[in-house]
Amino acid sequence: MAAGSRHISDPTTVGSRPDATRERRYQLYDLHIKMSSHRTRGLHGNFGAYARDIYLGPAASSKAPVPADFAELERLAMERLDPDAAAYIGAGAGAETTTRANREAFDRRRLLPRMMRDVTGRDLTTTVLGTTAPAPLLLSPIGAQSLADPEGELATARAAATVGLPLIASSVAHFTLEQIAAAGGPEAPRWFQLYWPTDDELAASFVARAEATGYAAIVITVDTFVHGWKPRDLERAWLPFLHGIGVANYFADPVFRAALVRPPKEDPAAATDHFFTVQGNPSVTWDNLARLREMTTLPILIKGLLHPDDAQEAAARGADGIIVSNHGGRQVDGAIASLDALAGIADALAGDLPLLLDSGVRGGADAVKALALGADAVCLGRPYIWGLALAGEAGVEAVLRMVLAELDLTMALCGFTAVAEIDEGALAG
Helix (H), strand (E), coil (C) string for 6-75? CCCCCCCCCCCCHHHHHHHHHHHHHHHHHHHHCCCCCCCCCCCHHHHHHHHCCCHHHCCCCCCCHHHHHH
Average pLDDT over residues 215-241: 96
Judge residue 268's burial from the number of C-beta atoms within 10 Å of its C-beta, 0-12 exposed, 13-18 middle, 19 or more buried.
Answer: middle
DSSP 363-379: SHHHHHHHHHTT-SEEE
Are 51 and 97 members of one domain? no
Are 279 and 405 members of one domain? yes
What is the predicted pLDDT for the residue at 1?
Answer: 40
The answer to whether residue 184 scores a pLDDT higher than 50 is yes
Are 27 and 164 members of one domain? no
Residue 13 belongs to a domain: no
What is the predicted pLDDT for the residue at 27?
Answer: 53
Are 109 and 187 members of one domain? yes
What is the predicted pLDDT for the residue at 235?
Answer: 96
Where is 211: in which H helix or E strand? helix 200-212
Judge residue 261's burial from the number of C-beta atoms within 10 Å of its C-beta, 0-12 exposed, 13-18 middle, 19 or more buried.
Answer: exposed
Residue 87 belongs to a domain: yes
The answer to whether residue 3 scores a pLDDT higher than 60 is no
Average pLDDT over residues 305-310: 98
The answer to whether residue 36 scores a pLDDT higher than 80 is no
What is the predicted pLDDT for the residue at 16?
Answer: 42
The answer to whether residue 320 scores a pLDDT higher than 70 is yes
Residue 120 belongs to a domain: yes
Question: Which residues make Cβ contacts (< 8 Å) with residue 428, sequence separation at least 6?
Answer: 110, 111, 112
Are 55 and 179 members of one domain? no
What is the predicted pLDDT for the residue at 24?
Answer: 54
Q: Which domain holds residue 400?
A: 70-426
Are 24 and 153 members of one domain? no
Residue 36 CA to residue 31 CA, distance in Å, equals: 9
Residue 322 belongs to a domain: yes
The answer to whether residue 58 scores a pLDDT higher than 70 is no
- 307 part of the active site: no
Residue 11 belongs to a domain: no
The answer to whether residue 30 scores a pLDDT higher than 60 is no
Q: How is the chain split among helix, strand and coil, in percent rounded to 5?
A: 50, 10, 40
Task: Select from 8, 37, 62 the last residue of a domain.
Answer: 62
Are 35 and 153 members of one domain? no
Average pLDDT over residues 344-349: 97
Distances (CA, A) of 102 to 68, 227, 297: 21, 19, 34
The answer to whether residue 333 scores a pLDDT higher than 80 is yes
Q: Pick the catalytic residue from 7, 174, 274, 327.
A: 327
Residue 335 CA to residue 99 CA, distance in Å, equals: 9
Task: Select from 62, 78, 93 the last residue of a domain.
Answer: 62
Q: What totals of helices (H) and strands (E) does the chain contain, helices first?
A: 17, 10
What is the predicted pLDDT for the residue at 429?
Answer: 80
Task: Select from 6, 39, 62 the last residue of a domain.
Answer: 62
Are 116 and 50 members of one domain? no
What is the predicted pLDDT for the residue at 214?
Answer: 98
Average pLDDT over residues 241-263: 98
pLDDT band at 312 (very low <50, low <70, confident <90, very high): very high
The answer to whether residue 256 scores a pLDDT higher than 80 is yes
Average pLDDT over residues 200-224: 98
Are 33 and 167 members of one domain? no
User: Lowest-confidence range among 2-16, 30-44, 388-402, 411-425?
Assistant: 2-16
User: Residue 351 maps to which CATH number?
Assistant: 3.20.20.70
pLDDT band at 42 (very low <50, low <70, confident <90, very high): very low
What is the predicted pLDDT for the residue at 53?
Answer: 84
Are 54 and 140 members of one domain? no
User: Lowest-confidence range among 16-20, 96-100, 145-149?
Assistant: 16-20
Average pLDDT over residues 173-192: 98
Residue 204 belongs to a domain: yes
Residue 361 belongs to a domain: yes
Are 167 and 40 members of one domain? no
Residue 242 CA to residue 406 CA, distance in Å, equals: 39
User: Per the structure, how many domains does the chain have?
Assistant: 2
The answer to whether residue 120 scores a pLDDT higher than 80 is yes
Mean pLDDT computed over every residue of the chain: 91
Are 239 and 381 members of one domain? yes
Average pLDDT over residues 319-345: 98
The answer to whether residue 372 scores a pLDDT higher than 90 is yes
Residue 255 belongs to a domain: yes
CA angle 378, 81, 71 (to 5 degrees): 50
